[in-house]
Chain A
Amino acid sequence: MPKRTDIHKILIIGSGPIIISQACEFDYSGAQAVKALKEEGYEVVLINSNPATIMTDPELADRTYIEPITPEMVTKVIEKERPDALLPTLGGQTALNTAIKLAESGVLDKYNVEMLAAKVDVIRKAEGREEFRAAMRAIGLKVPESAIVHTLEDAMAAGDAIGFPVIVRPSFTLGGTGGGVAYNRQELETMSSCGLDLSMTTEIMVERSLLGWKEFELEVMRDCKDNVVIICSIENMDAMGVHTGDSITVAPAQTLTDREYQEMRDAAIAIIREIGVETGGSNVQFAVNPQDGELMIIEMNPRVSRSSALASKATGFPIAKIAAKLAVGFTLDEIKNDITRETYASFEPTIDYCVVKIPRFTFEKFPEAEDVLSTAMKSVGETMAIGRTFKEAFQKAMRSLETGRAGFGADGKKSLDHLELFELETGLRVPSSKRVSYLHEALRRGMTVEHIHNLTQIDPWFLRNLEQIVALEQEIRQQDLRGMGRDFLKKCKQYGFSDTQLAFLTGTSVNDVRMLRKQLGIVPVYKLVDTCAAEFESYTPYYYSTYEQENEASRSERKKVMILGGGPNRIGQGIEFDYCCVHAAFALAEIGVESIMVNSNPETVSTDYDTSDKLYFEPLTLEDVMNIIDLEKPDGVIVQFGGQTPLNLAVALAEAGVPIIGTSPDSIDRAEDRKRFQEFLQKLHLRQPNNDTVYTLAEALSAAAQIGYPVVVRPSYVLGGRDMRIVYSEQGIREFMAKPGMADNKHPVLIDKFLEDAIEVDVDAICDGRKTIIGGIMEHIEEAGIHSGDSSCVLPPHTLSPQLIEEIKQATRAMAEELGVIGLMNVQYAVKDEDLYILEVNPRASRTVPFVSKATGVPLAKMATKVMMGMTLEQLGLSTEVTIKHWAVKEAVFPFDRFKNVDTLLGPEMKSTGEVMGIDDNLGLALAKAQLAAGVTLPVSGAVFLSVRDGDKKGILEAARQLVEMKFTLLATKGTASYLAQHDVPCDQVNKISEGRPHILDKLQDKQVAWVVNTSLGRRTTEDSYRIRRAALELRIPYTTTSSGAVSVVLAMQALRKSSLGVQPIQYFI
C-alpha cells in the first residue's frame, strides 16, 4: 500500500530531557522519523523540550516546538497547528504517556487528530499490567504468577500468596522506576507504597520472581498489511532480576536452538498481533527457565525503545526510520533496504558477528547510593562493540566503556587479589556495576564455571568464553613479547586483547607491542555491518574492526576529516557532545569533504550510518583510533567536539603526527595546565580567583590558609566536576586529601578561592584565528559553586550591567585570540561585586553549544567545523554577534529519584543527566516553561516552606514578600521565621525534625506544603535538612535548594499569574 494521502501534517512528540532510561536513543529515533516523514512530503511538527537534540534542529521539522511535553502544552500545539495525525511511538514512554492523556481527555477527538502506529487502546493493552496479562493468556502464552493491586494491603496479601521474593512493578513508569525485588514483607511494604505513588494509575503488579532465569528480547516490526519481521534477538548475560538496561547484553541470542528461538519468534509475532500494534516496532522481553526451557513473557513495549536503537546499530536495520514510514501506510515490501539497495525492508537481518553492549554506571557520583543492580534501571549510558567472536566483542566493549580499563582485566588496574573468598563470592552473587571485575578475579583464581554460575546465574556459555579469555591471559603472562610468534599474537588480538593489556602482561610498553604487531603484519581489518551476512553487496560504509584476512574498508581519494565521538553517555558527557559531532559531519558534507565518524555509543545520532560518509563503530582508545587513522590517513582529525574522550587522545595523536585540526593541542594544554593558564591570564591582565596547585596534605593546608576559606578543591583534568568540593575549614581539607589517590605526589590537586554568592556566567564563542564572535552569554541562576552543568541559566543575561557584558566580551575575545582558538571556546566567569573573574577556559565545544545554537539560531558547531577547515567567519556570513529579543532558559534535570539515600543538594560536582529549554518573549514565562519542562509544576496557591541558611536570608526576603502578595502562606523553621518576622513578613513557624512533632516532615507527608525552599551549607550538613529535601523529592513536592533558584521561581510564578503559557515554534524566535 503506498503512503497515505489523507493526512498531510503529522505531530511527533519527543522524549524530553535525558534521564536514566530515556537517553539519546530517542533523539536518534525521533530524528530518523522526522527525516523519513519529510522525505515523503509530509509537513512535520515536533515538540521536544530538549535543546541538545538533533531532532530539534530548526531545519529538520517544519515547525519545532521546544516546549514542555505536558498534555496541556501539547494541546496548545495541537490547537495552533491542527495536525492530521500524531505519531506517539518514537518519543519513549514520555510521548506514549502524553498521547494517552491527550486521547483520554478528548483533545485528539476534538481536533480530529488520528493516532498513528498504535491507538490508545493498544497502548493500554500493552502497558496496563492486567490487560496485558489477560491478552497473553488469551493467546496461550505464559506470564509469571502475579497480582495487580491498587492498595498497600492488597500488595501485602499478594506477596504472602505468591511467596517471597517477589518483583514489584509499577504500571506506566519508566525504566522500572519505583520497582524492585522484595525479599520480605518489610521491603514489599516500602516498595509498594513508593510504587503506588509513582504509577500514573496508582497500580502496581506484585509478581513471582524469576530470578536466575535467562532473559531474552526480540525486536519486532509490523506493517499495516500484517507482515511481521523480527529485526534482532538479544540475550542478556545477566540473568532475570537485573533491568535489561543495566544488563550486559549480546546480539544475536547465543544459547537457543532454532526450535527454541522459533518458539520465541512465534510468540513475539502473536503478541504484536494480539496487542494490535498496527505498524512499527515493538520490543518483547522473555524469560526462559534454564532447566527445562519453559518460556514466560515478561513485557512488551509497543514503541521503539532503547533496545530497538541497539538492534538498529547491531544489525544496520534502521528501525525508527522504517517505523515512521510504516506509520503512514507503507508496507515493508515497499521500502528499500538502504544498505543493499537491491532488497527490501521485508526481511530479517542476519548478522555474521557478535555484538556486546555494556551499560555505563555513575555510582561514583552518588556515593550514598548502593551499587546494587535490580529491576529499576540505574545506568546512564551504554557502549556497544562488534567483533567476530563474543570474546573479541566483549573485550572491545570493556575498553569502549572508558572506565580506565583496557579490556577484561589483565591491565594491572583495580586489582581484587586482596579479597577474601567470601567477599569475592558476595561480589559475584549480588549484581553490581563491578561484577565484571569480580568475574575476572574469580576466573583468574581458577574458580570453576559451575561455581560461578551458581553464584551469578550467568549462563555457562558466557562464563566459558570469559574463562577462555582468562586462560589466554595466563598463557600470555608466560610469554616473552619478542619471542611471541605471529600466530600466537594474532590469536591474542582475535581474543580482543588490546596492546595495553599485552604490554602489561609481558612487561613491555604499548609502543613495543604496536611495533611488533606492525612488523608481523598483524593489523586489524574492517568488516561491514550489512544486514545480510555478505549475501548481498552493500553500499553503506559502516565498519567494525577484527583480526582476520580480508579488509573491506578502502580509502577514497576525497579530502577527508575524521570526527572522534564521545563514547558512552555519562554524567558530564552526553548528548550535547554528540550533537556537536553530528553537526561536524553535516558541515563537512556541506563543503564537500568526506566525514569519517568514530564512536562506540549505540544510542546516538552520530552512529547512524547516514550521518557521516563513513562510520567506524569502534572503541575510542588510542590503539583503536590509530588503527583507523593508519588506514584512512585523514587530512584532519577533529577532537574538540566529543567532550573529554577525544580530548584525552589529542596529545598522543599529535605526537604520532596525526593532523589535529582547529585549536592546537598545545593551546588546549595551555588552557588546561594550571601554571600555563595562570601565565596566560597574567599576560592578558585578567583576574582569576586566588589559587594554588598542591601535591601533599601539608601543601594543601598551607595553600588553603594562604588563599583563605572557603576554597574549592579538585583533582586536575577532571570531567563534570568529579570529586570537586567546596571546603570551609582545615578539617575539610584533611578529609579531601585523605581520599584515595589525592595526596599521591603524582596527580596535582587544585585549590581555588571560592567566591561566595558570585554570579556565574558561561560564554560560548567561535574564533577563526583572527576574529572572535560571541555565540552567547549565559547568566547562571544558581550562584557560583554549583557546577555549570547543574545550573540553570538565562540567555541573554538578565541582571548583568551593559558595562560588565562588554567587559566579558572583550575578555573572551582577548583570550580566544591569545590562545589561537580555531573553532569553539567556552569560558566560565564569576562576577562578584562587579569584578570579573575567569574560572575556566575550554578551547573546545562545551555542553551549552546546542542550547546557545537553539536559542540564537546560529549553528555554532557547524560553523566551527568550517572554520577548522580553513574558512573565515566572514566567509560564513558571521560578522556580527546575534542579539536576541526573547529569553531562553536552560534547566538541568537530575536522577535523584533513581537513587535511594542521595541528597538533592547541588554542588561543584555535576549530577544532572539532562537539560531542557524554556523559550519565551517574557523572562518569567521562559523560567516557568523551563521548570515545567523539567517536571516541576509550579504551585499557584498553598503553603511555601522556607528554611534557609543565614547567608541566604537576605536574598530570600523579597521573594517571601512577593509570595505573600500572591496569597501564599509561608511556613518557616525558627531562624528563618524570626528573620521574616523581623522584616514584617507574616509566616507560621514549624518545628524542625529535631524539635519534636508535629514537625515539617509531618506537614510534607500530609501534603500541606506546595513548595519547599531549603538551602544548606556545603555537603549534607545537617540530617534535618537532608531529610526535608529527600521527603520533598519522594513526595514529589517541588523543591528548590538555592536562594537564587527560589527567586527565579517566584519570578516565574508572578509571570504565570499575569498570563498563561503560550507555545511558539523555534522558527518564530530565530
Chain B
Amino acid sequence: MKALIALEDGTIFEGESFTGRGEAIGEMVFNTSMSGYQEILTDPSYTGQIVTMTYPLIGNYGVNSEDMESAAVHPKAFLVKEYNAIPSNFRSEQTLAQFLDRYGVLGIEGFDTRALVRHIRTVGALKAIVSTEDLDKESLVARAKAWVGLVGQNMVRKVTCDQPYGWADNRPVPGTGFSTVQSGMNNPLKVVALDCGIKYNQLRIMTEKGCQVQVVPATTDAQAILAMEPDGVFLSNGPGDPDGIEGVVETVQALLGKTPIFGICLGHQILGLAYGGSTYKVKFGHRGGNQPVKDLATGHVEITSQNHGFSVDPDSLDKEVIEVTHINLNDGSLEGMRHRLYPAFSVQYHPEHAPGPHDSLYLFDRFIEMMRSEKA
C-alpha cells in the first residue's frame, strides 16, 4: 500500500506500507544500528518519534519475547529500506509486521532511506508525518508543520509507570517498597529506579548484579523515595526534552547528597539540570551502536549504544563542582559527568546496551561500589 512520508520542510518520500493502513506524526530520526530493531522499537525513549533505520534489510530475524525493552512499541512509525517478511532465527516467534501491527505502529519500506538520512543529517531532526490515508502532499506538509513537536513537551508523562513495580525472575512484578524479591538474592543492595521511560535491560543488569530494584513513577517525590531507605537511586532514560519534564529535577535536587545517584541518558540530562546546568537540542542526535566515548580518567575508549536528541551543555556546568568524565570522540560532546562532592554520576549513553556493545557495563559496577562504600 502506497504511503507518503512528508517532512515539515516540504521534502516528500514515497514508500509502501508493510503493516496496512495508518498514519503517524512525529519527529523524524534515524538509527545506525545494524541489528537490534526489536530493542529499538521497545525503547520508550523513542516516544513521539518516527524511526528510520539506516541498515536497509530489516525483519531478517523476526521478533521474540525475550528481547523486549518495555511492554510496548514506542515509535509512531518505523521506516526501512526493505522489509524482510520471512524471518530466519531459532528464537523468532513472529514477524516484524505482525509485531508492529499488534501495537498499531505503521511500518514503511521501499524508499531511499539513505537520502532521507542525509537530509536529516544536513538540516537536523524534523517534524514529519507518514500516511497511507492522506496522500495529498501539501496537506501532509502543512500538518507536519502544525504539529507541536517535542521541544518543551513533557513526554515522560506518557511512558512512566502508573504503579510501582519490582523486577523478579526476568519480568516486572507489581509491588511497592521493595516487596518484590528476586529468588536467591542474599542481602541485596536496594535501588529505587525513577522510571522516566526505563528499559528492561537496566533492571535485568542491576538485578543480575545483586540489586533489588524498586521501580517508581517519575512523579514520586524525594521524600517518598528516601522513605524507602534505598542504597541508591537510579535515574532511567526516557523520551523528549528534559526541560519539559515537571518535578523530576526538583526531586533529584532534593536527593543529591542524600543517596548515591546513577543516571542514564535522560536521567543524565535531569542530573545536569539539577546541577544547575542547561541542556540543548542536538541537530540530529546520536542514535546507534557505534559511538566512541572516551573515559577521561583512563583514556580508554568504549563503543557505546546511544539514543538521545538532547544533550547537557558542558559550559553550563560549574567545573568546580561537576567533573566531566566522558566525552564523545566524534563531536566532543559531553558523555559523562560526576559530582565532585556528592555520590552522583551519570552518562549520556546506554551502558545497558540492548541493542549495542557491552563495553560500558562497568558503570553498573561503579554504581554498586558507590552504594557499598556509602553504606559502609
Residues of A within 8 A of B (CB): 225-227, 229, 233, 252-262, 265-266, 290-293, 331-333, 342-344, 346-354, 388-390, 459-461, 464-465, 527, 532-537, 548-550, 552
Contact = CB atoms under 8 A, between A and B. Distances in A.
Chain B CB count within 10 A is highest, among A350, A389, A552, for A350
Nearest to B201: A259
Contact of B356 (A258, A332, A461): A258
Contacts of A227: 300-301
A290 B66 CA distance: 18
Contacts of B294: 333
Contacts of A464: 84, 86, 88
Interface of B: 13, 30, 32-36, 38-39, 54-57, 60-61, 64, 66-67, 81-82, 84, 86-91, 111-115, 117-118, 121, 288-292, 294, 299-301, 303, 329-331, 353-358
A388 B66 CA distance: 30
Contacts of B288: 350, 533, 535
A265 B357 contact: yes
B88 A534 contact: no
Contacts of A465: 84
Nearest to A461: B88
Given A352-B56, A534-B118, A548-B114, A333 B329 contact: yes
Contacts of A550: 112, 114-115, 118
A389 B88 contact: no
Given A255-B88, A351-B34, 20 more contacts: A227-B300, A257-B38, A258-B289, A262-B357, A262-B358, A331-B301, A346-B292, A347-B291, A348-B357, A350-B33, A350-B55, A350-B288, A352-B54, A388-B56, A390-B57, A533-B54, A534-B54, A535-B54, A535-B121, A550-B112
Contact of B301 (A293, A333, A390, A534): A333
A354 B91 contact: no
Tell me whether chain A's interface is mostly helix, strand or loop, or mixed: loop
14 contacts: A225-B299, A258-B67, A292-B90, A333-B294, A346-B301, A347-B290, A347-B330, A350-B55, A352-B55, A352-B117, A461-B86, A533-B54, A548-B114, A552-B118
Nearest to B85: A464
Contacts of B117: 352, 533-535
Closest 5 CB pairs of A and B: A258-B36, A550-B115, A258-B355, A533-B54, A461-B88
Given A292-B90, A534-B121, A347 B81 contact: no
Contacts of B292: 333, 343-344, 346-347
A290 B299 CA distance: 40
Given A229-B303, A258-B33, A461-B88, A389 B114 contact: no
Contacts of A266: 358
Contacts of B60: 254-255, 461
Chain A CB count within 10 A is highest, among B111, B114, B292, for B114
B36 A257 contact: yes
Given A343-B329, A464-B86, A534-B117, A348 B33 contact: no
B84 A533 contact: no
Contacts of A256: 35, 61, 89
Given A343-B329, A388-B82, A548-B112, A351 B300 contact: no
Contacts of B55: 252, 350-352, 533
A284 to B, nearest CB: 16
B356 A262 contact: yes
Contacts of A354: 56-57
Contacts of A259: 66-67, 354
B89 A255 contact: yes
Contacts of B121: 534-537
Contacts of B32: 350, 352, 532-533, 535
Nearest to B284: A535
A804 B32 CA distance: 67
Given A352-B56, A461-B60, A344 B34 contact: no
A389 B357 contact: no
Nearest to A265: B357
A548 B115 contact: yes
Tell me whether chain B's interface is mostly helix, strand or loop, or mixed: loop
A350 B31 CA distance: 10
Contacts, number: 161
B90 A291 contact: yes
A352 B87 CA distance: 19
A532 B86 CA distance: 28
Contacts of A265: 357-358
Nearest to A263: B358
A278 to B, nearest CB: 16
A293 B33 contact: no
Contacts of A258: 33, 35-36, 38-39, 67, 289, 354-356
B353 A262 contact: yes
A548 B110 CA distance: 9
A353 B91 CA distance: 25
B100 to A, nearest CB: 17
B56 A353 contact: yes
A293 B55 CA distance: 23
A261 B353 CA distance: 12
A459 B114 contact: no
B34 A343 contact: no
Contacts of A535: 30, 32, 54, 117, 121, 288
A349 B13 CA distance: 27
A259 B68 CA distance: 11
A902 B82 CA distance: 47
Contacts of A261: 35
Nearest to A259: B67
A752 B230 CA distance: 95
Given A291-B90, A332-B301, A342-B330, A389 B57 contact: yes
Chain A CB count within 10 A is highest, among B32, B88, B121, B291, for B88
Nearest to B88: A461
Contacts of B30: 535
A869 B118 CA distance: 38
B90 A461 contact: no
A1 to B, nearest CB: 9
Contacts of B66: 259
Given A229-B303, A293-B90, A461-B84, A257 B358 contact: no
A537 B119 CA distance: 11
Nearest to B37: A258
B289 to A, nearest CB: 8
A257 B54 contact: no
Contacts of B291: 347
Nearest to B294: A333
A115 to B, nearest CB: 25
A389 B81 contact: yes
B94 to A, nearest CB: 13
Chain B CB count within 10 A is highest, among A257, A347, A460, A548, for A257
B34 A350 contact: yes
A36 to B, nearest CB: 20
A628 B291 CA distance: 34
A331 B294 CA distance: 12
B284 to A, nearest CB: 8
B245 to A, nearest CB: 28
A685 to B, nearest CB: 62
Given A354-B57, A388-B56, A535-B288, A549 B301 contact: no
A552 B35 CA distance: 26
A552 B39 CA distance: 32
B40 to A, nearest CB: 9
A512 B46 CA distance: 48
Contacts of A226: 300
Contacts of B356: 258, 262
Contacts of B35: 252-253, 256-258, 261
Contacts of A252: 34-35, 55
A981 B330 CA distance: 81
A352 B329 contact: no
A225 B300 contact: yes
A226 B300 CA distance: 8
